[in-house]
Every structure is written in structure tokens, then in C-alpha cells.
């Protein structure tokens, strides 16, 4: 696959930026609206930018995540994704081209999450906020969209067996990153919607 076809597959996976059917809104009592950004950046090929949360965080310590968080009353859900990206990794909206979004979903942590996908300018300087981000790293899109790197795992939760996919990744310097949970499943949904037919 070429880099252009990779981007075409990403675009094929996405819904329009505008949300007219309310699917991003809360679906149960106590739920909060939130958004994340799945950031693409072109290096020698397309990469996805991910963060690792500090072990000192009160929620989800040490987990690998996209930039994101809960919505504020004065903003759209897309603005939430952009604001949280700037707060967490220092890349502002002027350096991000939003392409679209993946379907909203209910997270275990009582959030209704909408994942957006956007391209970060390759010249943008990534500056993580140490209060929220221990480190930032990039993984080739080709690695994440390869079925050979999707490790199936079954978990029993809330009375049902759920199939999850982990995507363990070793950086060139040997640092091991275990991409799992909501982050891995969002990437898996991107593969299902945009790339699966290319590998059929």
C-alpha cells in the first residue's frame, strides 16, 4: 500500500465532522461527554501519535491513550478534542486538520466518547504537559493497521465475554509499549471501517 492509499483508507473509515443525530450525547445516568483525537503525522510514512499517562494519575495511571478528555459546556465536541490535544501535547488547532470521526461509544469509565481523527502538521512542536503526559511516542500506521499485530484477548465483564485486541509495540530504541483497552479498540475500529476490505 502507498501512503496515499493509507490516507484514503483512513478517510473511508470516518464519519462527517458534524453530528446531527445526537449520537455523541450521554446515554445513561451519570455519564459525561468526552472526546479524543487520534492524531496522524507524516514522517517517512504515516504515524499515529500516542501518549502514556503518568503512574501518578488518579485515573488510568500508566495507560497509553490518545489526547482527550471531558467536554466543557461552552464548546462543541470537536473543540473538546482540539482543546485537550493542545493542553496535553502542546499542539494547537492551527496545526491540526480534522478529517472526521469514528462512531461514539460508551467507555467503562462512565464517559460517552467520540474519537476524532486529524492530521498534525509535521513541523508542529510536540510539548507534553508532564502533569498529564509522561511521554509521547509515534507508531507507524502500517503497524497498527496490520492484522498480524492485533492480539486477540477475551475478557469476562458485566456478565458477558468481550473480545478485545491488544497491539503491543516495541519502539526502535527497545521501549515496549502495550497498547490496549479503549485506545487499541479505537484503532481496531479504524481498521475495521477503513482497512479490513484491503486485507480481505
CA contacts within 13 A on the Cβ side of 85:
32
- pLDDT tens-digit map of 24-34: 998 888 899 99
Structural contact between residues 37 and 116, judged by C-beta atoms closer than 8 angstroms: yes
Whole-prediction pTM value? Answer: 0.93
Res 3: pLDDT: 78
Structural contact between residues 167 and 184, judged by C-beta atoms closer than 8 angstroms: yes
- pLDDT tens-digit map of 108-141: 778 999 999 999 999 999 999 999 999 999 999 9
Res 200: pLDDT: 54
Compute how many other C-beta atoms are within 10 angstroms of the C-beta atom of residue 40. 21
Interatomic CA distance for residues 77 and 68, integer angstroms? 11
Give the chain's domain count. 1
DSSP structure class, residue 172 = T
Res 88: pLDDT: 97
Structural contact between residues 101 and 14, judged by C-beta atoms closer than 8 angstroms: yes
Interatomic CA distance for residues 108 and 185, integer angstroms? 13
C-alpha cell at 152: 486477540
Distance of CA 68 to the CA centre of its chain: 8
> In terms of Cα–Cα distance, which of 121, 122, 126, 125 is closest to 98?
121
C-alpha cell at 43: 514522517
Q: 175: exposed, middle or buried (C-beta count within 10 Å: 0-12, 13-18, 19+)?
A: exposed
For 118, the domain range is: 3-199
Give the CATH number for residue 175. 3.90.79.10
List, in order, residues 6 or more apart from 186 with CB less than 8 Å away: 36, 38, 66, 102, 115
Res 28: pLDDT: 82
- pLDDT tens-digit map of 142-190: 999 999 999 999 987 777 888 899 999 999 999 999 999 999 999 999 9
Res 108: pLDDT: 75
For the chain, what is the total number of helices (H) and then of strands (E)?
Answer: 5, 11
Amino acid at each position: 500500500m502507498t501512503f496515499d492509499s493509507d490516507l484514503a483508507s483512513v478517510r473511508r473509515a470516518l464519519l462527517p465532522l458534524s453530528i446531527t443525530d445526537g449520537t455523541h450525547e450521554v446515554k445513561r445516568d451519570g455519564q459525561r461527554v468526552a472526546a479524543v483525537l487520534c492524531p496522524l503525522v507524516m514522517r517517512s510514512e504515516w504515524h499515529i501519535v500516542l501518549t502514556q499517562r503518568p503512574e501518578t494519575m488518579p485515573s488510568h495511571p500508566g495507560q497509553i491513550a490518545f489526547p482527550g478528555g471531558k467536554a466543557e459546556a461552552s464548546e462543541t465536541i470537536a473543540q473538546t478534542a482540539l482543546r485537550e490535544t493542545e493542553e496535553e501535547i502542546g499542539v494547537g488547532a492551527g496545526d491540526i486538520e480534522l478529517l472526521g470521526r469514528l462512531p461514539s461509544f460508551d467507555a467503562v469509565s462512565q464517559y460517552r466518547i467520540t474519537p476524532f481523527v486529524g492530521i498534525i502538521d509535521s513541523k508542529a512542536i510536540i510539548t507534553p504537559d508532564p502533569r498529564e503526559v509522561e511521554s509521547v511516542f509515534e507508531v507507524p500506521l502500517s503497524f497498527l493497521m496490520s492484522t498480524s499485530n492485533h492480539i486477540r484477548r477475551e475478557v469476562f465483564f458485566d456478565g458477558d465475554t468481550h473480545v478485545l485486541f491488544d497491539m503491543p509495540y516495541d519502539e526502535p530504541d527497545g521501549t515496549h509499549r502495550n497498547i490496549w483497552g479503549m485506545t487499541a479498540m479505537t484503532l481496531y475500529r479504524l481498521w475495521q471501517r477503513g482497512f479490513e476490505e484491503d486485507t480481505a
